[in-house]
Every structure is written in structure tokens, then in C-alpha cells.
Chain A
Amino acid sequence: MTPPTPRARPVAPVWLDRALAFAGATAALLSFGLFAWLVWDLARLGLPRISWTFLTGEIEDAGRSGGIGPLLVSTLLILVCCLALVIPLGTGCALWLSEFVRRGSLAARLVTGGVDLLASVPSIVFGLFGMVFFGQTLKMGFSILSGGLTLACMILPILVRTTLSALEALPADLRPASAGLGLTRTTSIVKLLLPAALPGIVVGITLGIGRALSETAALIFTSGYSIRWPSSFWDSGRALSVHIYDLTLNVPQSGAMASSTALVLLALILVVNSAAVALSEHWLRRRHQTS
């Protein structure tokens, strides 16, 4: 019996190749163009206003004039609260997963599954949860603390994931070697594993900061709308992203101020995310050189 002859595939005509190239180039240009348009619009409207007094001044006339000083401080304080919770929680969880349980065991699978599901929760839902859990059950009300802790829950998966992969990427002989030297597990973790995984952890933290800076929905019901200079973590404070939302939704003729705020926020995020990319590339290069 003869095997069936494979159906001859005609070579695609040249015009098809050209058409594909054309469609692809159009799509690439389109996506680049749209984003260039967005940035150009923001810069055109917002750049003229940006100055030192804008960055440090108070909000005037509901946001139609003045600056964003208090918002920058509030945003910073929210980040501080967020990192204070998420760094120990995220690193601890990742350490436990990589050093204390067998990979693929039921406990490890449950915890990683939980963290993955956490990553899928929409940000507005974190807002609701933060409002009732931190705000009402833990009696923090509308406060910077409540907002920061809510964001911590939201970026926790990012930190766990990056720290875990940093720990798993460490040379496998590090652990038996440290045991051979008679180091206890705690010493080995504190003096050896954590410092070695630090670059990965820092990248995770940086990515998390970028995500936290850009978040709005999780903050409107937790850290609130107050535009005064915050004097403690228990004050309500408006983040930059919430300011853009509030101006656009509630304050007519504030487009220019919203653009300026958006530009400042974009610049901050750009710096943070570029730092994350640069750090991870630097770290990868060094590992390639040493190994």
C-alpha cells in the first residue's frame, strides 16, 4: 500500500508576502502612532503649566489652578505604607515557598494558586475590600494607611512572583554548600540567599511601585479625596491618579490641569519602570558573565 502523497502546498505568491508586510507595518505604525498621539496631546496641554510652583503649590479653585504639592506628598506616603506591608509579606511568602516546602506539594500549590487568583482580582474590587476591611473592620476610615495597605494586597502577587523566581534562579549548590559550612538555615537565608536574590527582589519592588502609582480604582474608596497637606498616615489624602479622575469627572474646564498631573504621573512611572527594566537587564548581564 502506498502512503498517501502529501498535498502539494503551492508557494505563496509574492503579492501575499507584500500584503502581509504592508498590513503588519500599518498595524505597527498605527499602534505607535496612537500612543505618540496620546503623549503628544498630554504634553501639548500639560507641559506649559509644569513648574516648581506647580509641583509644590496647593490646589486652588477645585483644581482649575494652583499645584499638586499635597498630592505628591500623599502619593508618597501611600507608597510608604504599601511597601512597609508588601515587602515583608511578599518576601516572606516567597522564601517560604522556595526554602521551606517541597515544590509541587499541596501546601505550596495552594499558596501559589491563591496568589495567582489574587492577581486576577479587578482593582475596583480591591477598593471595595479595602473600604470594608481596612476602613471599617480595622477602623482606619478614609486614610493614607488604608489606601496604602489596600495597594499592598494588590501588588503582593507581583512581589511574590519576582522574588520566587529570583530565589529559584540562584545556583543550586548554594544551599548544600552553606549547610556544609555549618550555617543554620536562618543564617544561610539572611546572609546568603537574600543578598544573592536582592536584585530580583528590587526589580519586583520597582515593578510593584509602578503598578501602585498608576492605580486609581483601589484608592477612591480607601485613601479618599482630601486635598489638604497630610499630617499623618491617618489623614485622608488624594493620590495623583485619583486627582486626574476627579478633575475629569467632576470639575469642568480642568483639562489642562489634568494633563499636567497626568504628565507628572507618567514621568514618575516612566522613571520607575525604566529603572526596573535597566536593573533586570544589568542583573541578567552580570549573571551571564559570572556563570
Chain B
Amino acid sequence: MLGLLALVAGGMVLLIVWYLFSNALPVIEAGRLAAFFTDSLWQPRSQRDPQFGVVSMLVASFLVTLLAVALALPVGLAGAVFHRFYAPPVLERWNRRMLELLIGVPSVVFGFWGLMVIVPLIVRLAPHTSGQSLLAASIVLGLMILPIIALTSQAALQAVPPAQLQAAAGLGMGRARTIWSVALPAAKGGIGAGVLLALARAIGETMAVVLVCGNIPQIPKSLFDGIRPVTSTIALEMGYATASHKALLFCAALILVLFTALLVGWLSFRKVESDPGTGGA
């Protein structure tokens, strides 16, 4: 009985992949999968010249994710170092509480705020654009993953054995040297795991991005160009998609799942490798 429940819970992910696959099947069977990567445009509903190029969206997804991490990592990591080594413990505790609550802020609220505040700021920076751009999406997404990176970095720094820090102090290293040569290298694995987690979360994020990215399916040439990541395309087009267009969107979703599964799978594999004692996943 309980085994059945466990089977359902453990097999859910297979059911999801199966449903995505069977709905994407028309495209795969029709041999359109190649067009997915060779077509340069995305105009699946065009009567005259339907094109199914998904490359621009994949590029957009990767770019916006990488930029978001590039923005959030320095801020989150420096903040974590500050709270661990410089700030009084009270501040650290309250900061951690704040971050834990911020992880719960709905992504759609970030998107809405980004459209209200960040996008007008970008228009002021680049007056002849709409403001809805790669830059806006990266900033909003970066803000969303900042608490994840900050919390995991803080936990990783906390886990550095105190004996190592004391030994560094005993060798006469200053605080800065201790942080740079002892604490950060020792916490590297934990920080990296946090970044991977943030990457997986960011690339699958829809709502924070769809409202501010401009929704133009193109490979951006500058930070101020509009983009259209895979997730946004699914959210915007599934409502009215039919037939092969719909199958294409399922195909895109399948690619997305495979990618995040690879990221997370690699992460838990790495965890098992590094500490076999705890059994990992």
C-alpha cells in the first residue's frame, strides 16, 4: 500500500516526461526536429513560410541565466562573507531570516515590480528602446536568485571547520588573507552547488522573465535588445497553440526538463562523490 504511494511519487517524473514526449511526438515523427535547430526564425503559425527555429530562444535562455548568475553571485557571495566574518552575529541571524523569507517571494511579484521600476530605469538609460530587454530580465532574475546564492554561500562558509580558521590566525594571517586563502577555497564546493541550484532555478523560471524580456524571438546583439526565452514562449503561446505548433512547445519543454535534470543530476552525483559517508541522494 505504502509501496504503491512511493511508486507513484517516485514515478511521477517519468509520467511527466512520458506525457511531454507523447505530446511532442507529432513533431519528432514528422522529422521536424532538425528544423528546430536549423530554421533561423520562429513563426510556427505562418501559412506561407512556417519556421520552427528554437535556437534563438535557447540562446536567450542561456544568456539571461548566465547574466543573472553573474549579477547575483558577486553580491550574494560578498554579502555572505561580510555577514560571516565582519558583521555582528545578531545581524547575521536577522539577515538569514530575511533571506529565508525572500526566497518565498512569488516570482510573478518580481516580474511585476521589474516592469514597473527596472524597465523605466532602463528606458532612461537607453531612451530609444522599450526597456523590456535582456538586461531587464537578467536584473529581475538575478534579484530572484540572489537569496538562494546568498543563503547557500553563507551555509558553505559556516561549514568551514573552525580549526582551519584558527590555524590560519595562528600562522599570523590577517582576516583578509584568511578569507581569501582558507575560507573561500574550503567553501568552494558548497558555493558551487548553490550556483548550480540557482542556475537550474533560473533557466526554468517563467514569470519573473516573461513580463520584462520584451518577447522578441531573436538572438540579442546588445543588452538592450528584447529576447524571448523558452519558458516565456511556452507561457505565451500554449494558450492558443494547436497541432504541430503545440507539439513544438511540448518539445521545447522536453528540452528544458532534460537540461535541468542533467544539472540537478550532476549536482547530486557530485555530492555523493564528495561525501560517500552520508549517502548523498
Contact = CB atoms under 8 A, between A and B. Distances in A.
B238 A128 contact: yes
A23 interface: yes
B127 interface: no
B27 to A, nearest CB: 14
Interface in B68-89: 74-79, 81-83, 85-87
B234 A23 contact: no
Interface string B1-15: 111011111111111
A221 B206 CA distance: 13
Interface string B155-171: 00000000000000001
Contacts of A245: 108, 111-112, 207, 211
B5 A28 contact: no
Interface in A96-111: 96-97, 99-100, 103-104, 109-111
B76 A31 contact: yes
Interface in B94-132: 95, 97-98, 100-102, 104-113, 115-117
Contacts of B211: 245, 248-249
Nearest to B260: A120
Interface residues on A, range: 35 or more
Contact of B81 (A24, A220, A273): A24
Contacts of B146: 31, 34
Q: Summarize B's interface: helix, strand, loop or mixed.
A: helix
B239 interface: yes
Given A27-B78, A34-B143, A96 B5 contact: yes
Contacts of A213: 106
B101 A273 contact: yes
B206 A277 contact: no
Interface in A1-52: 9, 11-14, 16-17, 19-21, 23-28, 30-32, 34-35, 37-38, 41-42, 45
B34 interface: no
B6 A217 contact: no
Contacts of A35: 98, 102, 143
Contact of B235 (A42, A124, A270): A124
Interface stretch (B45-53, B216-224, B262-270): B262-270
B206 A214 contact: no
Contacts of A26: 78
Contacts of A215: 106
B104 A124 contact: no
A24 B264 contact: no
A210 B206 contact: no
B174 interface: yes
Contacts of A195: none
B239 A122 contact: no
A127 B211 CA distance: 18
B91 to A, nearest CB: 8
B207 A217 contact: yes
B31 interface: no
Nearest to B234: A124
Interface string A202-233: 00000000110111110011000000000000
Nearest to B83: A28
B1 to A, nearest CB: 8
A160 B105 contact: no
A65 interface: no
A24 B184 CA distance: 14
Contacts of B100: 273, 277
Given A20-B176, A124-B234, A42 B113 contact: yes
B26 interface: no
Contacts of A214: 104-109
A217 B231 contact: yes
Contact of A262 (B5, B102, B109, B176): B109
A273 B106 CA distance: 12
Contacts of B206: 122-124, 216-217
A120 B207 contact: no
Given A116-B268, A122-B256, A269 B104 contact: yes
22 contacts: A11-B174, A21-B82, A31-B150, A32-B95, A45-B116, A93-B6, A93-B9, A96-B3, A112-B281, A114-B9, A115-B9, A115-B12, A120-B200, A122-B206, A124-B256, A128-B253, A129-B15, A129-B20, A156-B9, A244-B108, A265-B106, A272-B104
The 6 tightest CB contacts between A and B, nearest first, are: A122-B204, A24-B82, A92-B5, A111-B10, A214-B106, A114-B10
Interface of B: 1-3, 5-16, 19-20, 23, 74-79, 81-83, 85-87, 95, 97-98, 100-102, 104-113, 115-117, 143, 146, 150, 171-177, 179-181, 200, 203-207, 210-211, 231, 234-235, 238-239, 249-250, 253, 256-257, 260-261, 263-265, 268, 279, 281
Given A120-B260, A214-B106, 4 more contacts: A17-B176, A31-B146, A100-B3, A129-B20
